[in-house]
Amino acid sequence: MVRRVLEFKEARRRQLAQLPPEEKLRIIVEMQKWARVAHIATGRPPTPVWNLEVLMRRADEPPNQV
């Protein structure tokens, strides 16, 4: 049973590693939202959540020339 769980975790990590950066960012933002809700529900200060639209726009912009 434990072996199956570990094999599943390893396969899942490989799947996640193959995702494009945009999808990885979307997953991170979802996790930030869950953490924010948990903090608020337990009376702790809310944590920030990245604005995914702004992040994606920045990714599309050419790098600044120095």
Tally of structural domains, the chain: 1
In a domain, 10, yes or no: no
Contacts of 46 (CB under 8 A, 6+ apart): 36, 39, 40
Q: Which domain holds residue 55?
A: 20-66
The pLDDT of residue 26: 94
Residue 64 CA from chain centroid, whole number: 26
For the segment 2-53, what is each residue's pLDDT rounded down to a tens digit?
999 999 999 999 999 999 999 999 999 999 999 999 999 999 999 999 998 8
Residue 61 CA from chain centroid, whole number: 21
In a domain, 7, yes or no: no
In a domain, 53, yes or no: yes
In a domain, 15, yes or no: no
In a domain, 1, yes or no: no
